[in-house]
Amino acid sequence: MRDGRGALAERLDAAIEARRDDMVALARDLIRIPTLNPPGSNYLEICEFLDARLKKSGFETQILRAKGAIGDSDAFPRWNIVARREGARAGECVHFNSHTDVVEVGRGWSVDPFGGALIDGRLYGRGACDMKGGLAASIVAAEAFLEICPDFAGAVEISGTADEESGGQAGVAWLAEQGFFAPARVQHVIIPEPLNKDRVCLGHRGVWWAEIETFGEIAHGSMPFLGDSAIRHMGAVLAEMEESLFPALAQKRTDMPVVPEGAKQSTLNINSIHGGAAELADYASELPSACVADSCRMVIDRRYLLEEDPKEVEREIVDLLERVKARRDRFRYEIRPIHGVAPTMTARDAPVVQTVSRAVREVLGRPPEYVVSPGTYDQKHIDRIGRMKNCIAYGPGILDLAHKPDEWVGVQDMVDSARVMGRSLIALLSGDA
């Protein structure tokens, strides 16, 4: 007689518990490969490491370079790995996608950022939380599932991808263009980003970046009336933003469950602003010469909601610039979009959401919180290019620790989230309804 789901879940827990030290060692080995982005170091090394591990567990693997994609170069080639293990019978495919890159180290560390120190149940290092801990948990969850359910239906896939921290063009976007996330191939995607083990992340807000430039006329700084200051024109743009735009954005609230609370509205950040002569390097002591600025540039980072029309997001800024133009002599501007990503949110009744939620309830004894991320992650490519809607982020680690000094992931959080991932595999692939 076949095991029921409950008996399988018990065996899964035992199999994961038996692998606790192995999971910590795996996460530590991943942390010890410094896959810094920029510039994109050691991508091949981490793919080869994963390749050896997953082959041993019966996966067929492909190591793929996103040759020619944005970010790829001969000096820093963008390597990705996709591993697939076929089941004994036909069925659906569950795919775990983790990015292998980590952000710069920064200052303020009290431990070696690439040492993987284990202190009081916490594993430390750059990428421990975002997201090598999640990658290790998904691998161990899959391996435990394969041990207890060797005759499963469908397929399990695990990918390790490049460049999420810089947009993912040579990682998930490229794989999606090659068809790796086509609905015919993959039916459920879980991205083990560090959203906390008791939260299911349904998607993210949209992004629109643009550069605004105002123009003036150069003249001697002692006689500014002979020129026209692009910086003063930009000052008028800033004043108009304070006056009308920021209050309007605060009024735009979303029904998306975005966390933290402050991100439940439209936001705009001014990423940079520069006017006049080119800025000198930190070590140079010279002051710029006395000139009226003939150009001023500002980069804006607008985050928008599912309820907003992206065309309206752009028009709002153009309207603002036109209002300034109507009341200022000689005001000239250009606006250049840099890039945009549409908001995305998987439906709460989607199969992967329901399956993982049930598993969280079983493991933690309470239902998960549904959240939406304020910033984007690789789900955008899976949705837009892959046309794959049944996708969530779920993984161990505390989101607030990502990118910080002394980043860590809790060992028990990794174990618990592996139990959730393993149960999700049982539910979707064991064939026991």
Site residues, Zn ion (CB under 5 A): 130-131, 193
Instruction: Return the number of the residue (94 or 131) whose C-beta is nearest Zn ion.
Output: 131
What is the token pair recorded at 212? 């605004």
Q: How far is the CB of 38 from Zn ion (least distance, A)?
A: 15
Strand-pair partners of 118: 123
Instruction: Return the number of the residue (130 or 294) whose C-beta is nearest Zn ion.
Output: 130
Calculate ∠ Cα 272-274-276, nearest 5°.
180
Q: How far is the CB of 307 from Zn ion (least distance, A)?
A: 26
Instruction: Return the number of the residue (85 or 99) whose C-beta is nearest Zn ion.
Output: 99
Contact 133, 27 (CB under 8 A): yes
Instruction: Return the number of the residue (193 or 413) whose C-beta is nearest Zn ion.
Output: 193
Instruction: Return the number of the residue (13 or 193) whose C-beta is nearest Zn ion.
Output: 193
Most distant CA pair in the chain, distance: 93
Q: How far is the CB of 172 from Zn ion (least distance, A)?
A: 11
Q: How far apart are CA 50 and CA 33, in angstroms?
A: 11
Q: How far is the CB of 388 from Zn ion (least distance, A)?
A: 19
**391, containing H or E segment:** strand 391-393
Q: How far is the CB of 200 from Zn ion (least distance, A)?
A: 16
Q: How far apart are CA 139 and CA 421, in angstroms?
A: 10
Residue 68 to residues 131, 218, 251, Cα–Cα distance (Å): 26, 41, 43
The closest alpha carbon to 99, from 167, 53, 181, belongs to 167
Instruction: Return the number of the residue (202 or 317) whose C-beta is nearest Zn ion.
Output: 202
Q: How far is the CB of 101 from Zn ion (least distance, A)?
A: 8
Q: How far is the CB of 195 from Zn ion (least distance, A)?
A: 10
Q: How far is the CB of 131 from Zn ion (least distance, A)?
A: 5
Instruction: Return the number of the residue (254 or 373) whose C-beta is nearest Zn ion.
Output: 373
Instruction: Return the number of the residue (35 or 355) whose C-beta is nearest Zn ion.
Output: 35
Instruction: Return the number of the residue (62 or 166) whose C-beta is nearest Zn ion.
Output: 166
What is the token pair recorded at 221? 């700084």
Q: How far is the CB of 403 from Zn ion (least distance, A)?
A: 9
Contact 195, 399 (CB under 8 A): yes
Contact 252, 265 (CB under 8 A): yes
Q: What is the DSSP string of 193-245?
A: -SS-TTEEEEEE-EEEEEEEEEE-B--BTT-GGGSB-HHHHHHHHHHHIIIII
**3-state secondary structure labels for all residues of 130-152:** HHHHHHHHHHHHHHHHHHHCCCC
Q: How many CB atoms lie within 10 A of CB 327?
A: 9
**CB proximity list for 393: less than 8 A, separation 6 or greater:** 190, 191, 192, 193, 195, 200, 201, 373, 377, 379
